[in-house]
Amino acid sequence: MNKANSFTEFYTALEMKALPGYNIGYADKNDTIFYISNGKIPIRAKGYDWSDVVPGNTRKTLWDSYYDIKDLPQVISPKSGFVYNANHSPFKSSGAADNPQSENFAKEMQYETYDNNRSTRLLKLLEEKEHIDYKRFKRIKYDHQLPTPLQYNYMDLNALFEMEISEYPAVSVLLSEIKNWDRITNATSYGAGAYAVLYYQLRPYYLKLGADHIFTQAILYQALKDTKAYLKTHFNSDRIQLGDFQKLVRGDKSLAIFGLPDVVTAMKGVPDKEGRMKITHGESYIGLVRFTPTKTYYESVISFGNSRRPESPHYTDQMELYAKFKTKTMSFERAAVLKTAKKIYAPK
């Protein structure tokens, strides 16, 4: 795939069926764009629930062949001009007229059919009438706003925004912050801070819900009281900014950070010191590539730094760039790389 000089060569590499999974996106200087929900997917017998245990005492459930790459959901150079995926349904991977149709694929392939917050938000941004130049493309990539209504594929929290503040005086400050929140997960946002603490307090309730995982107002009220108690215990306050609650941490360095689970710039953490969360999942390596007739432009950033050695200056040197939605310019030109190199050597 990496050695391909054309889309045909790239597709031929995929036809080896050597990758067992992964969504794949492709673009080149010829304006060819491509998306495939790739996988080494067995051709399974119809009439069984392949999401559960199937009988092992019959050859009917023994599969020994796989779908060809051409038979998987994919989009090549759609008229809408875009492809996208946020770990949601491959049948919603481009404009409505360009999407693969689910009825054309065997249900035994078990592809997802749901949207999530990221896919819902991305499609809204991509389909707005404003022209998508590079500047706007970066705004879309770095978007960190939840949609209305919420579209978590694993739970329904929309009842939270229907709760009347006057009916819940014990949590009125928290509920007011959340209901008046613009759903943008800025590090300085009090609404995002209240929602983030609540989100992590929901887990014990989530585990007790039914299969549809719908949160009622009664359950949310209990969770809001838990959130208030948590804030009082750890921060001695009824309100908190998101960046005071969640941090990007490496070594002794700690930065306030944007994002929440299932926004485009997703962030998720684990409990850390003094009631805070330390980010462990979400945005990681970011590479932005532009093709022009004469040159390829490339900029990138990673969440911490390129070194895993604490004594290295590159252990944490990209954290500020990352936290401010910035990147560094890279070069494909050998002369430029050598000119700025700190050290040139040959590994032994």
pLDDT in tens, 232-242: 999 999 999 99
Which of these three, 91, 114, 137, is where a domain ends?
114
**CB-based contact 262:152 (threshold 8 Å):** yes
DSSP helix, strand, coil percent of the chain (3-state; round to 5): 35, 15, 50
Clarify whether residues 290 and 259 are in a common domain. Answer: no
Clarify whether residues 236 and 256 are in a common domain. Answer: yes
Q: Give the global pTM.
A: 0.91
Clarify whether residues 66 and 102 are in a common domain. Answer: yes
Nearest to 327 by CA among 307, 347, 298: 298
**CB-based contact 268:245 (threshold 8 Å):** no
Per-residue confidence (pLDDT) for residue 295, from 0 to 100: 84
Nearest to 283 by CA among 307, 308, 296, 300: 300
Residue with token string 């838990």 = 226
Instruction: Give the residues of the chain that fall short of pLDDT 70.
Output: none
Peptide bond preceding 169 in cis form (omega within 30 of 0): no
Contact partners, residue 6, CB within 8 Å, separation at least 6 = 28
Per-residue confidence (pLDDT) for residue 188, from 0 to 100: 98
Cα 64 off chain centre by:
34
CA distance 276 to 223: 18
Q: Looking at residue 23, which CATH number applies to its domain? A: 3.60.20.10
**CB-based contact 54:39 (threshold 8 Å):** no
Domain residues for the domain of 165 are 158-281
Q: Report if residue 169 sits inside a domain.
A: yes
Per-residue confidence (pLDDT) for residue 15, from 0 to 100: 97
CA distance 96 to 78: 10
Clarify whether residues 233 and 209 are in a common domain. Answer: yes
Which of these three, 233, 266, 281, is where a domain ends?
281
CA distance 209 to 8: 49
**The pairing of beta strand 33-37 with beta strand 253-256:** unpaired
DSSP notation for 282-320:
E---EEEEEE-SS-EEEEEE-SS-S---TTSTTSSTTHH
Number of domains in the chain: 3
Clarify whether residues 200 and 293 are in a common domain. Answer: no
Which of these three, 281, 296, 314, is where a domain ends?
281
Judged on CB neighbours under 10 Å (0-12, 13-18, 19+), 209 is middle
CA distance 294 to 219: 59
